[in-house]
Structure 1
Amino acid sequence: MLAKPEAVFDRHAEWEALARFATSPAASARFGVVSGRRRQGKTFLLDALARATDGFYFAATEDTELESLRRFGRALAARAGTGGAFELHSWEEALRRLYAVVPDGLIIIDELPYLLSASPSLASQLQHVLDPGGVARETSSKLLVCGSAMAVMGNLLAGNAPLRGRASLELVVPPMDYRTAAEFWGVADQPELAVLLHSIVGGTPAYRHEFVHSDAPAGLGDFDSWVIRTVLNPAVPLFREARYLLAEETGARDTPLYHGVLGAIALGHNTRGGIAGYLERPSTNIGHPLTVLEDCGLVAKEPDAFRTGRSTYRIAEPLITFYSAVMRRNWSFLERGMAEQAWQAGQETFRAQVVGPHFEQLCREFALRNAYTLFGEPPSTVAAGTVADQAARTQIQIDVAVLGTDGAVLSLGEAKWRQTMGIAHLDRLRRARDLLAAKGHRVARTRLACYSGAGFTDELRKVANAEGVLLVDLPALYADPS
């Protein structure tokens, strides 16, 4: 196994999968696909892999087919040591030359969607060379293709796509989980700061250095100043990143509509009807942008744990949530360079509409990652849910519902970012458990859970200790699960 370079932070599973693919002793050619949202470090990983294996690496750019073939010809000639450039007239010819130059090593083609955009037949040509009788079959080369356009990469191996069934590796490089991100930013020992920071930059590694000039908050007291001097500063690349992400990922033409949909979700209007109502448009008008945002991984559609057919939408990229809820609403300040005023105007929205829901999502991730320890078995579902209380003519919101593989309710949890939780919160969970039992749900193994960013009352701690109620505060949320 290839040793992971010290410059690659974490990514142990990803590196192991890539290294195993690259060093496979298989005598025949292999094909793999690497994908993931932009800025997750895919290129960094693949470049490190190419260097470690002396592989051939080609990074595509947004060019015409002719210019891409010219660049590819120059890269191949450099690899062959001939100097100059190979004159290539088609990708069919280019692929034949590729396997002739690299018959037994690693080949990496990064940002494949750029090539596919200019040359849609490239996928079929790749299929042809990989099929029995194709030129790749005469070699032992390993070909990796990579891309950030999630919709394009997702369709590469789907359905009747030409390359379906050809890949021996399908690797998605996700954002870092919240604990790893805290370590990466150097705030693992400051959980409140870690939550606030993650609510803006999430687990995207590129935002740590390139996008903020390696500027990280010195402590909780420096957080507000950090937001003003980085995220809200027009001279810092992170300032425009959310808008660039939307444009790059979706290719949206009706940009105001897409921003409107994201803004509605960011402010808590997270059902299809709620989004349409907030925008004062028919729900049919928002179907297409929602589908596009889902396909490119910027929005996630999440089913209700207890109500079949009901689902909510969540923005999957924290920076876009922050932009939609805080920056876009205070743009009149920001475009005049008045970052402090913009932050002053947007802080309350940030705490309530951004950090609060984000904290709930972190709690669900905590429950999922620690399910064996906390509930004794793996879950089939960890999601939010609503329980109807007809007697009180209300609904009880369950922020962290954990369901077992047999459908049993393993846990019901409530999460509060700014509230010290007490008996009233526990009573609400008890009521939800009783209502679910009355509807036929299995609750014998249900563990009630309270997640709080502000702590718990002494009374709740006493009752929790006696009844086995799970209490998770910020230190527990970031504690080493071992």
Structure 2
Amino acid sequence: MSPSDVSRPGKPETVFDREAEWDALVAFACDTRPGGGLGVVSGRLRQGKTYLLKALTAALGGFYFGAQQAAEGESLRRLGEELAQYTGTAPPSRWRGWEDAVEALLELGDQRPVPVVVDDFPDLVRQSPALPSIIHSAYRRLRDTGRDNRPRLLLSGSSLPVMHRLFSASSPLRELADLELTLGPLDFRQAARLWGIDEPGLALLVHAVVGGTPAYWRYVGNHGPSGPDDFDAWVCRTVLNPRTPLFLEAHHLLQEETDHWDRALCHSALAAIASGCSTPGEIAECLGAPLTDASRWLALLRENGLLYGESDAFRPNLIRLRIAEPLLAFEHAVVWPHRSALEQQEAIEVWRSVRPVFDSAVADPHFARICRDWVMDFADPAVFGAHPAMAAHGSLPDPARRAGPDAEAEVAEAEVVARGRADVCSGPLLSVGVARWDEVMDLHHLEHLRHLLALLAACGEDVTHARPACYSGVGFTPALRSAEADGHVVLVDLDRLYRGR
């Protein structure tokens, strides 16, 4: 539905960022044209969907109902009581079923456009599978009768598989949807502002632990480390502290997202990925499990948004699996192997021994991920000659590097490879870059990139316009800076990642 020119409330100061999401919701809710509107809001747990939707209904005088895992009768009773409180009328004597309840919700739009939110919608559908069809039938009747009724129903949920199924191309609800909004984590720059961190190195370390999930900021009392020297102590008093919510958050997150699966196998699969395994074969071998079994668990984790697949920039048929939520990566690389020790020893003692693991297994790959995000979301198109359509890790066998005459060729890698155009697997090569979190970069890094470009050219890749790029968390030597001044390499440091283009 296209928005109409009506007075719309500004975003409350209590809602951090989310300007685009707020504007989309308000435009949908304030559309004055006759007819029922249907919106879909989805996203993983802890991203602020409920907070945003409650703010919307408060600003526009709408109705909010938060579903629970309950029997159908209890859910209908609760909805009737809350609806009666909202309208100032007596609760309904007894609804015959969801047909009556949906009709009562749509009647809220008889006088004006009004947002009607049903949060955690998948919890209702699990107990009442016919509910989507009931909603579809109610909207069809509403449109067939031509009634001047303007409810703006928003269905929200965190169970991504259920939401995808309910609003897939074959679903009857999909044809009704006027708005489809996905709420994801804050990006790394937004997260730094939320946590009030001005120092880029500290911001990246905090993001490597808690990512861009807004709820975690509230979990630790709305403040982060006081400065770079406070990072280690902050980790110990928050995510490594058994008395704080963050200590078991990764466990609860996996428990809530994976429902009745074998969580032990899910934990082990995530631990394998956090240790450096990235393909189903590598993960299955690490677990000592058949590939078919491992593939099934990994598919479930991907379906629930806990993992994502990334095509190799040079070998598109090679898919690497990454952990989507930084806290899960931190948990399974750092905490999981030492949880019993954390429950018995001082956190600072355990952290002192595992800090090197954090730097190599968490901070270093996370830095490369942030560099890829910068290329896609913040780099000026002039930096690489065009706006990249993809940024990914790339790897290529190097025939010149073998451990022995009969050994397989070693692999030459680049953490940040940018390609143009929409056909990302074969789009023009814009840049090949290496990322080092804790290494001062020098000319030998540039030579590595030139060697990799030569390998690609020998494979038939057009490298004419590909720009070498070096990304460092600690800086570059004067010689490499000189090469940058001569136009031979793009250099990206932390300050540029967080403040520049």
Length-normalised TM-score, structure 1: 0.96
Q: 1:98 offset after TM fit, Å? A: 1.8
- 1:337-356 → structure 2 map (5 Å cutoff): 337-356=345-364
Which residue of 2 is the match for residue 394 of structure 1?
410
Looking at structure 1, the residues matched to 59 and 240 of structure 2 have their Cα atoms a distance apart, in angstroms, of 39
Q: Which moved more, 1:312-321 or 1:56-65?
A: 56-65
Which residue of 1 is the match for residue 259 of structure 2?
251
- 1:392-431 → structure 2 map (5 Å cutoff): 392=401, 393-405=409-421, 407-431=427-451
Match for residue 179 of structure 1 among 162, 176, 189: 189
SS at match of 1:478: helix
- Name the Cα RMSD after superposition: 1.6
| Conserved? CA contact 1:388–1:395, under 8 Å | yes
Q: Which moved more, 1:159-168 or 1:320-329?
A: 159-168
1:283 aligns with 2:291: yes
1:109 aligns with 2:129: no
Percentage identity across paired residues of the two chains = 43
SS at match of 2:313: coil
Q: Which moved more, 1:435-444 or 1:235-244?
A: 435-444
Deviations 1:299-320 (A, max 9, x none): 0111111113111100000000
Runs of 4+ in 1 over 3 A off after TM superposition: 83-86, 132-137
Amino acid of the structure 2 residue aligned with 1:401? V
1:232 aligns with 2:232: no
Match for residue 91 of structure 1 among 81, 87, 98: 98
Match for residue 214 of structure 1 among 222, 239, 260: 222
Which residue of 1 is the match for residue 274 of structure 2?
266
The gaps in structure 2 that reach 5 residues or longer are 1-7, 402-408
Which residue of 2 is the match for residue 319 of structure 1?
327
SS at match of 2:321: strand
Q: 1:119 offset after TM fit, Å? A: 0.9
Deviations 1:113-149 (A, max 9, x none): 1111111111111111122556896311111111111
Deviations 1:32-69 (A, max 9, x none): 10011111111111111101110111111111111000
Looking at structure 2, the residues matched to 289 and 371 of structure 1 have their Cα atoms a distance apart, in angstroms, of 39
Which residue of 1 is the match for residue 455 of structure 2?
435
1:119 aligns with 2:128: yes
Amino acid of the structure 2 residue aligned with 1:142? R
The 3 A distance-change label for structure 1 pair 66 and 257 is: same
Amino acid of the structure 1 residue aligned with 2:212? G
| Conserved? CA contact 1:129–1:136, under 8 Å | no
Deviations 1:394-424 (A, max 9, x none): 2211101101117210000100011111111
Looking at structure 2, the residues matched to 383 and 314 of structure 1 have their Cα atoms a distance apart, in angstroms, of 12
Amino acid of the structure 1 residue aligned with 2:473? G
SS at match of 2:418: strand
| Conserved? CA contact 1:74–1:86, under 8 Å | no
Which residue of 2 is the match for residue 41 of structure 1?
48
Amino acid of the structure 1 residue aligned with 2:201? E
Q: 1:452 offset after TM fit, Å? A: 0.4
The 3 A distance-change label for structure 1 pair 18 and 458 is: same
Q: 1:480 offset after TM fit, Å? A: 4.5
Looking at structure 2, the residues matched to 361 and 453 of structure 1 have their Cα atoms a distance apart, in angstroms, of 13
Which residue of 2 is the match for residue 363 of structure 1?
371
Amino acid of the structure 2 residue aligned with 1:291? A
SS at match of 1:131: helix
1:474 aligns with 2:497: no
SS at match of 2:389: strand
The 3 A distance-change label for structure 1 pair 202 and 31 is: same
Looking at structure 1, the residues matched to 19 and 137 of structure 2 have their Cα atoms a distance apart, in angstroms, of 33
| Conserved? CA contact 1:233–1:337, under 8 Å | no
SS at match of 2:344: coil
| Conserved? CA contact 1:419–1:453, under 8 Å | yes
The gaps in structure 1 that reach 5 residues or longer are none
Which residue of 2 is the match for residue 191 of structure 1?
200
Length-normalised TM-score, structure 2: 0.93
1:156 aligns with 2:166: yes
1:455 aligns with 2:475: yes
Which residue of 2 is the match for residue 27 of structure 1?
34
Q: Which moved more, 1:293-302 or 1:280-289?
A: 280-289
Amino acid of the structure 1 residue aligned with 2:200? P
| Conserved? CA contact 1:371–1:379, under 8 Å | no
Looking at structure 1, the residues matched to 63 and 363 of structure 2 have their Cα atoms a distance apart, in angstroms, of 44
Amino acid of the structure 2 residue aligned with 1:372? P
Amino acid of the structure 2 residue aligned with 1:96? E
The number of residue pairs the alignment matches comes to: 479
